[in-house]
Amino acid sequence: MCCPSLEGVYVTEPKSIHELLCTPSVRRLDILEWICTRVYPPLQDQFSSLKESQTEIKVKEMAKLGFELMLCHSEDVDLIKGHVSPTRQLSFMGHLLDIIPSFANLFGNPEIESSSQGTVTYARENEELLKELFSSAHFQATLTPECNPWPADLKPNLLTEELQKKTLPSNKDNVITDHLEELQKISLDLQDLKEECTFLCSTVPGGETVAQTLRLALTDFHQLVAAFTQVYENAFHEHCGHPAPQMSPSGPLFQSVHQLLGICIKKLEAIAQFTQTSNTIVEVVRKRQQCKESWGSGSTATLYDKIKELKQNYEELQSSWQE
């Protein structure tokens, strides 16, 4: 039986056929509707009762049929409308077309009425068979057997093999033995380390204090490492993949400026020391000039007054010599 939607359509080029089957259109939806009614004929009566504006109901019913046949999801309307990849659309249509002859051959009549009754009966029989299978106690016993399924004449041989396996060390025993040897080796290494670190022994004066300090330092170090690990995982980890920052080529210039600034600071410190020394000398001279002292004649006078007096005496003496 030919598809009515293809009557009067003459398409021979692969590109045109691909466009007809994989591009969303009314004709493509009609072709897919015809295929679905051939797979499940009761849809024909349901679709014929719908109006032309009720296209969404047809799309959902065809998606539901594809879901029941395990070809798509129950709400995969984009596949029915043609909004998915062409490969998926052609695969869906191909599987539907493969089902049509299988049902027709199964029931021996390719007509719609016979295929309709055969499809419904076949689906119901499969459903009943699956229900009976999963609810069967024999099926559950097969999944979780409680007894050894071997025949009675083989059980003695199997028991002998099991005893041999018990006598031989298992993989688990080998792993435990390896761990014990590793622990013994670590214990010997710790003993050697303890002999080398004599300050850990309590017999050495102050050894207990040193040991406590070492334990405290190791504890602090462990806490720092744990804190850094947590911060690294939560905050720094996502930034560690960034490239390294570009270094400025002005490094030597900055070093030269730093050296000149250091020399300038030293010169300013020298000037400050010189100024402080000058102020100190001025203060000493000022105090010297204002302080009255005894000059051996019983009278006291400042240095300025004493110099003035000496100068006056010298001038008087010089004038008396000239006369």
E strand residue ranges, the chain:
292-294, 300-302
Per-residue pLDDT of 161-215, as tens digits, reads 555 555 444 555 677 777 778 888 887 887 777 777 665 555 555 556 777 888 8
pLDDT top residue among 41 and 4? 41
Task: Of 24-28, 185-189, 240-244, give the lowest mean pLDDT range.
Answer: 240-244
Contacts 24+ apart (CB under 8 A), 219-222: none
Per-residue pLDDT of 130-164, as tens digits, reads 666 666 666 555 556 555 555 565 556 655 555 55
CB–CB of 65/43 below 8 Å?
yes
- What distance in Å separates the CA atoms of residue 279 and residue 270, rounded to the nearest whole number? 14
Task: Of 13-27, 36-50, 93-107, give the lowest mean pLDDT range.
Answer: 93-107
Question: How many residues comprise the chain?
Answer: 323
Exposure letters 89-115 (e unless 16+ CB within 10 A, then b): beebbeebeebeeebbeebeeeeeeeb
The total of other beta-carbon atoms located within 10 Å of residue 59's CB is: 19
Q: What is the pLDDT of residue 71?
A: 87
- What distance in Å separates the CA atoms of residue 171 and residue 181, rounded to the nearest whole number? 15
Mean pLDDT of 243-269: 84
CB–CB of 27/33 below 8 Å?
no
Per-residue pLDDT of 268-304, as tens digits, reads 999 999 999 999 988 888 877 777 777 676 677 777 7
